Structure 1
């Protein structure tokens, strides 16, 4: 079956799509990394060799294959080759501690761990370094496997910003939805990938590009100037970046000299995306700017086409067609239009559950009166009169001070307006007097005492910051989320 026919069908797997592209457009570049370019025919053969070698070494269909390291071509090949063998890709974050990494390998039960030289950890799994990958590879043909929509595709571990990382099991059906909802233009795309391959943020652009037969330009790590150089060199047309990356790119003093006219689509997700930053990108970077709001776990997704709704940049847009997003209160009851509630979403792209964590899966699940399954997003928001979703904050970050709800995002928005503040975050800490009280952290040149007075003068009495601390940089995950738990621990 041709790739075109597969993409028009009810279900196809990514390895089968890549096989079809190899037959249809074998000499087209599939992945470009540094000075290396791999065509679709080469990619297909490399996936076969990895799948054969995994099966030779006893890896069975449904087994997890753990992968640890920064972005490299070898990393991408192992990920895709594991899928060809019917295995489950389990990419791990190098930023995790050795104990956390060992716990993840044990949790997913991976018999094999692929890693780079800088990440040697003590685990019972067989360990294969990327540097020794060629010596490990055999040259046979893998035994074909039959994969169904509900079979696991990958296990993505949560960032651990709220505690012990949880393994999010995503089925092939979920990835098929991601491929299917991508515009047909992905087949001619040159997609710039500058976020880690262990992040779902990356995979929702990396996988659809290969599924449609486009070209991925994979960067080893993110650097704003290098991103601009590579985007101009390769005539990048599509990219998925997180807000902090957009912020650093737009702040580059040489930004306007780079030719970015080839871009047709820029997307963003994973962290709060300020209206001011969206407006700056619209004004200076060609092509559509689209914000997606959703979760690695799936649930509902909203979309905001910023070019079409310049008056809604403070929102995350409307639910994608066919997806259902509700707002619920603490008792699990739906709230009225315009009222504040926790976001719960339902779609065809939902995790199977947290691996080995039935309690966590149940806690993240909500059912409506008809018995339909929704996933709780953990965010608090409200719908405006036009049906656009306005996010207020993470539910776990809500500060209840003196009985009043205080949303850190409101305080951060005020702090960010000061010209001497380049980055900021607000967290709640225990208070004997108020139960909780807000504390601010910022990056910038302003004096903390003067900034605290200025900020509190703009805030309501129940919102005022109890303290403000200057930092060289806020702690962030690899995809730009502020690690508020670290800020709370640091302050304590």
Structure 2
């Protein structure tokens, strides 16, 4: 099956149901299906070959989703692109991924000149939302709504390339992650198995569609679900959308959940329609998780995955979050392996480790990528011993529950001891004055690396740093307690919204003449 075939399944069972809602605009599956055929026919007439790579540079918008579906309908490969990345990052990515056609939102129209200079492989620039001179033409000026079906030009075989994602380039140039039709089938199947829906989902897209929220929205369309699109995450808008549209499902990173919990109107809101709130991308504070369950209800769904094995390698659905006494049943766990994933803990020599021992989380199964685009060496390096290596340190217990300790590259060696930033961050997040935090290691003559923490206070709160230091020492002991804690107004974040430890580390290590 092709990725577009999953959308078509939804369109068949939900022909007259709303497919997408943005503001006051609502489009049915019948309308959106017709648009996908029209956009695909435009692309094909314009010379877009079967298997060519198409990208959409836009924030959350209905027309952006239509363009993605049009690329897939034309039997192209969707190359995911982030409109919040820098011009240089995007130019490098488009060149790496051999993008042929780029749909561009007017908000980033000014970047096209740089792309024309740096991305000679891009053949066509299409204005997405309104005419502007930098593009070759405006989508609505060329698309023909004549009801003609687009031809199928690829077989939909499991090993055919479906979409290309990228690793973000936090350790150098981004790598293109090849995800096949088979990977998409495994992803949709794992999502449906781990989160069975009582009714057709109403999926709120408030996180960027350029990351996990985009593919998750497309997956919900296979069930005939309605996708409610917000242009950006805003706690008040999220609450209003949940109440207005009776939202049943949404994905948010932990940081966004913290912001939602801190909003003054959250205690009075009606969240009774929610079935699932998926959280992933970073460990979640246990205190905030308890607060989320109290406010939103028993709807929290944990998962672990990465671009190379997307979104649901493991899962802990809502009913497994709490025990019979109403307490967290598996505090800090990211769940157990999904039906289509084999997950283990491995040491550096390739030995599978028993329960209770820390090592790298490794994965096998149809969810694992086909490889890195045009990078056999990197593919081989991440696939040693016949497993996909996630780069995450973790541990599993005797019942098969997995716990992510931290990223392998973020581990701090201080005084000969291994210190994992996530453990320290979890302790600090338990303090009532802390909204978010980040822990890094910096060069130190005595300790090799010294542990320091940056904390972002809750709205209206002021952190007493001495009190916070004592709080941390009681929870962590002397070795893992930060040598210094600094309060900041806001923490640096990646384009995906995650706290960027790399950005915090940079000035300290550059000053020491090193880059890590």
TM-score normalised per structure 1: 0.91
Q: CA deviation at 1:26?
A: 2.1
Matching of residues 248-397 of structure 1 within 5 Å: 248-298=259-309, 301-310=313-322, 311-367=329-385, 373-397=386-410
Matching of residues 93-172 of structure 1 within 5 Å: 93-120=82-109, 121=111, 122-123=114-115, 124=120, 125=122, 126-130=124-128, 131=130, 132-139=138-145, 141-145=149-153, 146-172=155-181
CA distance in 2, matches of 1:305, 1:113: 38
Structure-1 residue corresponding to 2:134: none
Which consecutive residues of structure 1, in runs of 5 or more, have no partner in the other structure?
1-11, 368-372
Q: Is contact 2:3-2:162 (8 Å) kept?
A: no
Sort the Cα spacing of 1:184 and 1:14 in 2 relative to 1 into closer, same or farther, 3 A.
Answer: farther
Structure-1 residue corresponding to 2:70: 81
Matching of residues 232-247 of structure 1 within 5 Å: 232-247=243-258
2:186 aligned to 177, 186, 205, which one? 177
2:478 aligned to 426, 438, 461, which one? 461
SS at match of 2:219: helix
Q: CA deviation at 1:456?
A: 4.3
Structure-2 residue corresponding to 1:51: 40
CA distance in 2, matches of 1:322, 1:355: 24
SS at match of 1:119: helix
The Cα offsets for residues 268-288 of structure 1, whole Å up to 9 and x where unpaired, read as 111112222221122221353
Q: Is contact 1:193-1:216 (8 Å) kept?
A: yes
Structure-1 residue corresponding to 2:432: 419
2:447 aligned to 434, 449, 469, which one? 434
Q: CA deviation at 1:187?
A: 6.3
Q: Does 1:407 align with 2:405?
A: no
Structure-2 residue corresponding to 1:196: 208
Sort the Cα spacing of 1:317 and 1:141 in 2 relative to 1 into closer, same or farther, 3 A.
Answer: closer
Q: Is contact 2:395-2:403 (8 Å) kept?
A: yes
The Cα offsets for residues 416-463 of structure 1, whole Å up to 9 and x where unpaired, read as 233332211101122333322212111122254664465346543332
CA distance in 1, matches of 2:156, 2:252: 31
Q: Is contact 2:166-2:307 (8 Å) kept?
A: no
Structure-2 residue corresponding to 1:31: 20
TM-score normalised per structure 2: 0.87
CA distance in 1, matches of 2:14, 2:470: 63
The Cα offsets for residues 113-132 of structure 1, whole Å up to 9 and x where unpaired, read as 11112213222322112122
CA distance in 1, matches of 2:363, 2:335: 14
Q: CA deviation at 1:387?
A: 2.0
Q: Is contact 1:278-1:306 (8 Å) kept?
A: no
Q: Is contact 1:116-1:129 (8 Å) kept?
A: yes
CA distance in 2, matches of 1:187, 1:113: 36
Sort the Cα spacing of 1:138 and 1:151 in 2 relative to 1 into closer, same or farther, 3 A.
Answer: same
Q: Is contact 2:433-2:463 (8 Å) kept?
A: yes
Q: CA deviation at 1:109?
A: 0.9
Sort the Cα spacing of 1:400 and 1:43 in 2 relative to 1 into closer, same or farther, 3 A.
Answer: same
The RMSD of aligned alpha carbons is: 2.1
CA distance in 2, matches of 1:22, 1:387: 38
SS at match of 2:183: helix
Q: Is contact 1:161-1:483 (8 Å) kept?
A: no
The Cα offsets for residues 376-432 of structure 1, whole Å up to 9 and x where unpaired, read as 111111112322112211101001122211111222123223333221110112233
Q: Is contact 2:340-2:365 (8 Å) kept?
A: yes
Q: Is contact 1:22-1:41 (8 Å) kept?
A: yes
CA distance in 1, matches of 2:196, 2:302: 19
SS at match of 2:319: coil
Please, which moves more after superposition, 265-274 or 394-403? 265-274
Sort the Cα spacing of 1:259 and 1:187 in 2 relative to 1 into closer, same or farther, 3 A.
Answer: closer
Q: CA deviation at 1:60?
A: 0.9
Q: CA deviation at 1:313?
A: 2.6
The Cα offsets for residues 137-180 of structure 1, whole Å up to 9 and x where unpaired, read as 24554332232111111111223333322211111111112222
CA distance in 1, matches of 2:85, 2:495: 11
CA distance in 2, matches of 1:20, 1:343: 35
CA distance in 2, matches of 1:197, 1:443: 26
CA distance in 1, matches of 2:308, 2:476: 35
Residues paired across the two proteins, number:
475
The Cα offsets for residues 96-122 of structure 1, whole Å up to 9 and x where unpaired, read as 211111011111111211111221322
Q: Does 1:220 align with 2:231?
A: yes
Q: Is contact 2:177-2:373 (8 Å) kept?
A: yes
CA distance in 2, matches of 1:17, 1:416: 40
SS at match of 1:469: strand
CA distance in 2, matches of 1:305, 1:18: 25
Q: Is contact 1:242-1:479 (8 Å) kept?
A: no
Which consecutive residues of structure 2, in runs of 5 or more, have no partner in the other structure?
131-137, 323-328, 510-516
